[in-house]
Each structure stands twice: as C-alpha cells, then as structure tokens.
C-alpha cells in the first residue's frame, strides 16, 4: 500500500515530510544509527542557525545544537507523536539558549560600542545582530523564530510553549522595539 501525500488524523493533516520524519524517529527508537544520522543531518544547520540568532555566538550555537540533539535522543521516550519531532527538538534548543542567556545575564559584561554606521549589507547584518542582542530574550527568540526561521505562529507557540496569542503579542512588541532601535541607529 502506498503512502498518500497527506495523512489526516484526529490531530490534523500531516505532510510527507512529517510522515517521513515519523518513520525515521520510529527507526531511531529501534536502534537504527542510519536513521539517527539522517535526523541529525535534517535539523543540524537550522538548529545551529536558530541558536546563533538567539545567542549571537556561533561557537556557542554549535554547542547548544549538539546538546539539543543529545537531550532530544535521551528524552525521546517523552515524545508522544513521532511526527512532532521537529517541534520537540526546536523547543529543547530554544530552552537551552534561554538557559544560557540567563547564565550570561548573571555575569558582568562589557558594553558594546554603539557607533556603527550601516552603509552596506555586511554593515547592516552586523547592526541587525547588535540590535537583536539588545532585545530581551523572549522577544528576540520570538522574532528570530518567526522572521528569520520562518516558523508559523503555531510552530513558534509550540517551540516556546506559550499560547499563540502570546506569540502574536511578543512579536508585535519585538517588531516595534526593533524598529525603534533601527531608526535610532540610522539617524
């Protein structure tokens, strides 16, 4: 019997990608190392990018992504629906990032120079990163997941474990604060 493009369940409609992911997770549960490698390959780059956008540190992002995979596979027994693995691992990654930001906040830090003159794409990217770093962790994470990672409101809500209304509210606030910071930096 051939698998259809969409599978309808009491939990909703799932794409081929989510069905394929569920099959891989099932194989991981059975001890299949090849499936484990495929899942890591599927999510590694995006996890690192997400962590880097939240933490603003590429080396730390690599560590967090690796830690997220280890924790996800160690706690795979807690995953109720194998099709939800992507949300599961991104939720773990975001939590690890937030934990690291809390630890950093407790440490004294030097002030960064704020006299950047955005005049090109590299300069704009540097400025964007500096401005994102000025946002509180919950707003930055919401903005990064929605705008940079292109997750839906529902996916952001799942990853951050908050209601969709909270995502919308945080996103509105994050956009307004970022816009104000951008305008101030470009005056």
What's the pLDDT tens digit per position in 116-169? 333 446 777 778 888 888 999 899 999 888 888 888 898 888 888 899 999 999
- Identify whether residues 67 and 142 lie together within a single domain: no
Residues 129 and 39 occupy one common structural domain:
no
pLDDT in tens, 42-77: 999 999 999 998 888 889 999 999 999 999 999 999
Assess whether 91 and 116 both reside in one domain: no
pLDDT single digits (tens) 20-29: 999 999 999 9
How deeply is 68 buried, as exposed, middle or buried, from its count of CB atoms within 10 A (0-12, 13-18, 19+)?
A: buried
Question: In total, how many domains does the chain have?
Answer: 2
User: Do 98 and 120 fall within a single domain?
Assistant: no
- Mean pLDDT, range 70-92, rounded to an integer: 91
The enclosing domain of 126 has a CATH number of 1.10.10.10
Residue 78 and residue 160 in one domain: no
Q: Which domain holds residue 105?
A: 1-109
One domain for residues 97 and 53: yes
- Per-residue pLDDT of 98-119, as tens digits, reads 888 877 765 443 333 333 333 4
* Three-class SS state of 151: coil
pLDDT of residue 121: 65
- Using an 8 Å Cβ cutoff, are 89 and 69 in contact? yes
For residue 105, what pLDDT is reported?
65
Are both 13 and 95 inside the same structural domain? yes
Among residues 86, 109, 132, which one ends one of the domains? Answer: 109
Are residues 85 and 163 part of one domain? no
Q: Model's pTM, two decimal places?
A: 0.62
Output Rg (C-alpha) for the chain, integer angstroms. 19
Is 172 a residue whose pLDDT tops 50?
Answer: yes
- Identify the band that residue 17 occupies on the pLDDT scale cut at 50, 70 and 90: confident
Q: Are residues 20 and 91 in the same domain?
A: yes
Same domain, 8 and 89: yes
> Cα separations (Å) of 45 from 5, 49, 100, 124?
26, 6, 20, 23
Give yes or no: residues 85 and 40 share one domain.
Answer: yes
């Amino acid at each position: 019997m051939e698998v259809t493009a969409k599978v309808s369940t009491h939990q909703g409609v799932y794409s081929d990608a989510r069905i394929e992911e569920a099959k891989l997770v099932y194989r991981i549960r059975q001890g299949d190392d090849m499936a484990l490698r495929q899942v890591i390959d599927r999510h590694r780059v995006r996890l690192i990018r997400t962590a880097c956008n939240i933490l603003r540190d590429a080396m730390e992002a690599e560590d967090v992504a690796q830690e997220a995979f280890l924790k996800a596979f160690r706690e795979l027994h807690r995953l109720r629906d194998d099709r939800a693995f992507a949300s599961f691992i991104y939720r773990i990654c975001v939590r690890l990032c937030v934990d690291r930001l809390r630890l950093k906040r407790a440490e004294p830090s030097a002030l960064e120079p704020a006299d950047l003159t955005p005049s090109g794409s590299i300069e704009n990217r540097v400025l964007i990163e500096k401005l994102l770093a000025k946002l509180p962790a919950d707003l930055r994470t919401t903005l990064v997941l929605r705008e940079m990672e292109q997750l839906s409101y529902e996916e952001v809500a799942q990853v951050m474990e908050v209601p969709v209304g909270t995502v919308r509210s945080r996103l509105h606030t994050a956009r307004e604060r970022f816009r104000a910071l951008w305008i101030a930096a470009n005056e």
